[in-house]
Structure 1
Amino acid sequence: MTAAGEVAGATTATAHLQALGDSLRARGLHARVGETSGGLPQLIVLSTAAPSLSEVVFAARSDGSWWFWWSWAERIAPVEELATAVTRVCGVLTPAGRARE
């Protein structure tokens, strides 16, 4: 991939992560977009109800489509399915009995 392609990919990933972060903040989680030490965009998400619960989410292409990914390289949902991604992240970071739909 060319340098221009890498920049465009990082810009697209950041935009997807910002959209997810906005939706997660609306659900009561703390979320901010940052970069890994290698410069990859990432979304750091923390539970406000249980601060010890946190996750890192990435956005990357796979098989020609953009997906949200857990830090352990498991797919969360396609970026077009933002509501599904929000539900899955909230399910991991919301303490039992406090989940909101």
Structure 2
Amino acid sequence: MTIDAIGHLERLGTELEQRRFAVRVRARGSHAMLNITNVAAPALAESVFTAPDEEGALWFWFPWQTRIGPVADIVAAADRIERVLAEVGRPGPAPAAP
């Protein structure tokens, strides 16, 4: 685990907190994860971690080994996580500007 990984997770957590999610960074041994819970629907929760892709670029990942987005694009990663953890009737993220 690097301090960079924790920093990326904390920045993602800050973005998700602004979207009404509860977050907590957990470091265990050499691994760090961001636990995310939808406050409006606590059963909707997930963990996210950082790891390099095949080419060495650092990405956010779901535990089922699915890439979320590059750590350099916090907003896009938060948009994807919000779609995965959205409760029924939650307005989705704003569409990207053309």
The verdict on a shared fold, with TM-score over 0.5 as the criterion, is yes
Letter in 2 for 1:66: L
| Alignment-derived partner of residue 37 in structure 2 | 46
The correspondence of residues 42-81 of structure 1 with structure 2, limited to 5 A, is 42-62=33-53, 63-81=55-73
| Alignment-derived partner of residue 4 in structure 1 | none
Displacement of 1:97 after TM fit?
1.4
Find the residue that maps to 1:24 and give its secondary structure: helix
* Structure 1 runs (4+) greater than 3 angstroms displaced: none
C-alpha contact (below 8 Å) 1:91/1:99 kept by paired residues: no
Displacement of 1:100 after TM fit?
4.3
C-alpha contact (below 8 Å) 1:90/1:99 kept by paired residues: no
Of 16, 24, 29, 1:24 maps to 16
Structure 2 unmatched runs, 5+: 94-98
CA RMSD of aligned residues (A): 1.3
Partner Cα separation in structure 1 for residue 19 and residue 50 of structure 2:
20
Find the residue that maps to 1:95 and give its secondary structure: coil
State the TM-score, normalized to the length of structure 1.
0.84
String of CA shifts for 1:4-46, please: whole Å, max 9, x gaps. xxxxx5211111000000000010000110024x440000000
Letter in 2 for 1:96: V
State the TM-score, normalized to the length of structure 2.
0.86
| Alignment-derived partner of residue 79 in structure 2 | 87
Q: How many residues align?
A: 92
C-alpha contact (below 8 Å) 1:28/1:48 kept by paired residues: yes
